[in-house]
Amino acid sequence: MGSAEEPDNGDHFSRHIRIITYILMDAEKHDIHFGFHAYNMSLMVLPLVLLYQEHAAILRAEKPLHDLKRLQEEKRNSSMSTNSDSGYFLDAESAPEMARLIQQDMAMTRKMGGPLAEQADPSSFLEILDVGCGSGGWVLDVAFANPDAEVAGIDISKTLIEYANARARSQGLQNASFEVMDVTTPLSFSDHSFDLVNGRLLVGSLPRTVWPQLIQECFRITRSGGVLRMTELDMSGVTTSAAFNYLDSLLLKANWLVGHGFSPDGRTTCMTPMLPTLLRNAGYQHIQHRAHAIDVSSGTDTHMDFYRNYEIFFKQTLPFLASVGVATQEEVEQTYQQMLIDMFSDEFKGMWYLLTAWGTKPE
């Protein structure tokens, strides 16, 4: 290894070791349990061990590690609120956001009945792709459930892809793989490559102008008789908390102002009514859909997942809301604090609505 390359590699590895460690610490602090199949916390440490072994030479160089707080500050200073470089509305490479995405992924899959619950014969899909895969939870669940399938995930975030690959190795899932790829550009796959293409909650990442192009690319890489499956939402939820509902209305408006979603006025994302049309316009046929209504009220098994998800999510959106001009920083901070009080109350009621739409490519 040349000496000129060592600092960059060491810094790169140190950064990701710290990110993963921070996720585990945050998970333990908030009692987050990783893995749709109830993997325990010790198993989640294995990615650290694997990364340590792969980069042992860097560690032996005994270079000083960056200070974590300085790394986080540099990351904050170098990132726009909309995080346009990574395609995410939030900074998905921050430790809290990575932990949130993992937990949200698990809760969604569990309450939707599994990763492909609406499909008549999931075992018939042997080549599967997840676009915007994040930390890889959906891919890992499908790979675990169908060991005969080859399941791939793509995401623009190198950090998330490295972490997803580490999770696959730690769980012994040799049929799961992940690759860095920008879904807003032509995908690096041959025509007719996949039996099923999946995407979930991409509205915060994709401008409305990109959606037709992405769906058309999915059509190109889907095999004849193959399926495109998309899951989206129109708002963060319907609750008895006026503060939650108000923050969500601000977020919907801000997202609309920066070009996300198909709403005419920014009151919802208007994604669920658009999904069938987007699929149909790309050439898919036999469009079907399934609605999911998830009770997140106090006392349900999903309440704390919902609480923790939006505790982190809305905290990270506050600077964005103020910067877009939909509210002042003081107003959103006060509303956020009231939202936490409301959501933690025994009287809190809420529903989380999602829609999965899928279509088949003609033979």
Average pLDDT over residues 218-235: 98
User: What's the confidence (pLDDT) of residue 282?
Assistant: 98
Q: Is residue 29 part of a domain?
A: yes
Per-residue model confidence as pLDDT tens digits over 161-176: 999 999 999 999 999 9
Per-residue model confidence as pLDDT tens digits over 245-261: 999 999 999 999 999 99
**Per-residue pLDDT at 67 exceeds 60:** no
Helices (H), 146-210: 158-170
Evaluate whether 171 touches 39 at the Cβ level (below 8 Å). yes
CA distances from 14 to 3, 27, 134 (A): 17, 20, 21
Average pLDDT over residues 10-24: 52
Q: Is residue 1 part of a domain?
A: no
| Predicted confidence band of residue 311 (pLDDT cuts 50, 70, 90) | very high
Residue-number span of the structural domain to which 131 is assigned: 6-360
Q: Is residue 34 part of a domain?
A: yes
Out of 8-17, 24-33, 40-49, 94-103, give the one with best mean pLDDT.
Answer: 94-103
Domain count of the fold of the chain: 1
User: What's the confidence (pLDDT) of residue 49?
Assistant: 41
**Per-residue pLDDT at 50 exceeds 60:** no
Q: Is residue 69 part of a domain?
A: yes
- As a whole-number percent, the residues of the chain with pLDDT over 70 amount to 75
Average pLDDT over residues 60-86: 40
CATH code of the domain containing 111: 3.40.50.150
Mean pLDDT of the chain: 83
The continuous run of DSSP H or E covering 180 comes out as strand 176-180
- As a whole-number percent, the residues of the chain with pLDDT over 90 amount to 71
Q: What angle do CA 180, 38, 136 make, to 5 degrees?
A: 10
Distance of CA 280 to the CA centre of its chain: 25
**Per-residue pLDDT at 36 exceeds 80:** no
